[in-house]
Amino acid sequence: MKSRLTPIVGTFLVVAAAACGGGSDTTTGPPTPATPSTPSTPSTPSTPATTSTLRQLATAKGRYVGTALDATFFGQSALFGTNPAAYDTLVAREFSMIVAGNVMKWEPLNRNGRLTYRWANPDLLVAFAQANGMKIRGHTLAWHQQNPTWLTSTTYSADTLTAILKEHIDSVVGHYKGKIHAWDVVNEAFNDGTGTLRTTGSPWGSIIGAGYIDVAFQEARKIDPAALLFYNDYNLETPGAKQDSVFARVSSMKARGIPIDGIGFQAHFQINADGSGAPSQQTLVNTFTRFASLGLKVEITELDVRVRTPGAGATELAAQQKLYGDVVSACLAVSACDAIVVWGVNDGESWIPGTFSGWGQALMFDDTLGKKANYDAFRTALGG
């Protein structure tokens, strides 16, 4: 269900061309909503009509609302009936920020060899966002997963691997210089549970050691001083050894002058069969406040809430909807939190069923782009 490039590219190019050429063929492609104001200067809130979109409501609150996108999901006529632009239109209407779900990662971008890059798909996403006045999160510059074979099959020296990391950041951050709101510079550097530095499966941690984190942030700042630089991870939302470890690390980075601007909370949540599993709104507020106290921004970067499939019952679904609302409310309660990004538009494209067998239905839209109760909860929490 992922081979639908022809209508996608066709649809997309019209949008980008109209934006770039100054023309305005408003009969084709997604609408071009107004550029959202920056979080520090929100547009004047007006009484939202009941039809206000998430994008409009979030903008009125001085927040971005985002989604992960893959280039292959533009213009999904096969999935969404006869309108090949349905997906693109929905994305531009409901969201003010995008992040590449995969195509800016090392493997998709750099699989053909050192310093050989496949820019086409990520460039499509960036142009789509620009044509529609959306912010862009870059994801990600150093991670232990989705690395190319040429990188992982050779045991480089620490010096060589550090040079490879720097040259990759030079290339990628340089390619998108001036276009990226925030980079997830380092992703998932610490082990779940213990919070120790991840070395197993990570060339960065095992060969270079924790110093690679500093190197990556310093290099990214050098190449694009305007991009916000984030550390991004999962299971940081609740107190524990991992949260403490990351807090200690970023405190140390701040103290040592390593340029870090924010923490990305992935927020991949699970509601158990008995309805348990959600962190409380107060827990989320406490966590965001803890990191904000270091002078860091907070963004919720990969929100999804999985339930059992098939068979999730009313209790689970109610807890899922409540959590969607609680995440939004927690972000609104902390001024340092400027963005809430979901990890995909619709359940049919979500990574969850393929990664967590027996789990799914984690997003705000169903397989045919219908709004789910999660959408309503998100919207209500935004004041809609």
> What phi and psi, each to the nearest 5 degrees, are found at residue 373?
-60, -25
Least Å distance, CB 50 to ligand XIL, is 33
Length of the chain: 384
Read off the DSSP letter of residue 371.
B
Least Å distance, CB 62 to ligand XIL, is 26
Measured from the CB atom, the residue of 52 and 187 that comes closer to ligand XIL is: 187
Pull the structure tokens for residue 338: 């400027």
Measured from the CB atom, the residue of 56 and 235 that comes closer to ligand XIL is: 235
Pairing of strands 135-142, 97-100: parallel
254 DSSP β-pair partners = none
Cβ within 8 Å of residue 78, ≥6 positions away? 1, 4
Active-site residue, selected from the candidate residues 94, 299, 302, 316: 302
Total interface residues for ligand XIL by CB under 6 A = 6
The CA distance from 340 to 90, in Å, is 17
Applying the rule CB under 6 A, the residues between 102 and 141 that interact with ligand XIL are 102
Please pick, from the candidates 76, 147, 187, 202, the single residue that binds ligand XIL as defined by CB under 6 A. 187
Q: Is 351 in the site for ligand XIL (CB under 6 A)?
A: yes
Measured from the CB atom, the residue of 53 and 266 that comes closer to ligand XIL is: 266
Collapsing DSSP to helix, strand or coil, 49 comes out as: coil
Cβ within 8 Å of residue 82, ≥6 positions away? none
The CA distance from 322 to 315, in Å, is 11
CB count within 10 Å of CB 79 equals: 18
Least Å distance, CB 187 to ligand XIL, is 5
The CA distance from 289 to 283, in Å, is 10
The CA distance from 197 to 217, in Å, is 17
Q: Name residue 192's amino acid.
A: D
Q: Is 266 in the site for ligand XIL (CB under 6 A)?
A: yes
Least Å distance, CB 48 to ligand XIL, is 31
Active-site residue, selected from the candidate residues 188, 219, 316, 349: 188
Least Å distance, CB 266 to ligand XIL, is 6
Measured from the CB atom, the residue of 15 and 165 that comes closer to ligand XIL is: 165
Q: Is 264 in the site for ligand XIL (CB under 6 A)?
A: no
* Residue 302 a catalytic site member: yes
Q: Which residue's beta carbon is nearest to the bound ligand XIL?
A: 351
| Residue 237 near residue 279, CB atoms below 8 Å | yes
Measured from the CB atom, the residue of 57 and 343 that comes closer to ligand XIL is: 343
Residue 378, H or E segment = helix 373-381
Measured from the CB atom, the residue of 75 and 138 that comes closer to ligand XIL is: 138
Least Å distance, CB 102 to ligand XIL, is 5
Applying the rule CB under 6 A, the residues between 39 and 98 that interact with ligand XIL are none
Of the chain, the end-to-end C-alpha distance in Å amounts to: 34
Q: Is 148 in the site for ligand XIL (CB under 6 A)?
A: no
> What phi and psi, each to the nearest 5 degrees, are found at residue 149?
-60, -40
Q: Is 101 in the site for ligand XIL (CB under 6 A)?
A: yes
- Show which residues are catalytic: 188, 302
Residues in touch with ligand XIL (CB under 6 A): 101-102, 187, 266, 302, 351
